[in-house]
């Protein structure tokens, strides 16, 4: 068995995990860059803060779900290989 021959399920599982990690990294990077000298996030206005934090919360949740779905796909493929 070649190490680079992935099944479709493995490929999509790895893709979901990587996409989820990338989304969460980008959000964390943006949050880090918004921090001032006191460690607080700075926004131009309160409505902007609410909107940005809500959108980041949604994408963070989607990233987590992608990581969990990818991990589940990889585990299912692994268990399928054990009993096949």
CA torsion, ordered 67, 73, 75, 79, to nearest 10 deg? 180
Q: pTM for this one?
A: 0.85
Q: Indicate if the pLDDT at residue 2 is higher than 70.
A: no
What per-residue confidence (pLDDT) applies to 3?
A: 62
* Per-residue pLDDT reduced to its tens digit, 17-52: 999 999 999 999 999 999 988 888 899 999 999 999
* Per-residue pLDDT reduced to its tens digit, 65-79: 999 999 999 999 988
What per-residue confidence (pLDDT) applies to 4?
A: 72
8-12, 18-22, 62-66, range with the lowest pLDDT:
8-12
State the Cα–Cα distance between residues 80 and 82, nearest whole angstrom: 5
Q: Which 8-state DSSP code applies to residue 28?
A: H
């Amino acid at each position: 068995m070649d190490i680079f021959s992935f099944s479709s399920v493995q490929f999509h599982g790895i893709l979901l995990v990587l996409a989820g990690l990338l989304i969460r990294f980008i959000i964390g990077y943006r949050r880090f860059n918004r921090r001032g000298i006191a460690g607080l996030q700075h926004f131009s206005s309160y409505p902007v803060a609410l909107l940005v934090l809500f959108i980041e919360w949604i994408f963070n949740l989607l990233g987590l779900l992608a990581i969990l779905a990818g991990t589940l796909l990889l585990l299912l493929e692994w268990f399928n290989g054990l009993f096949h």
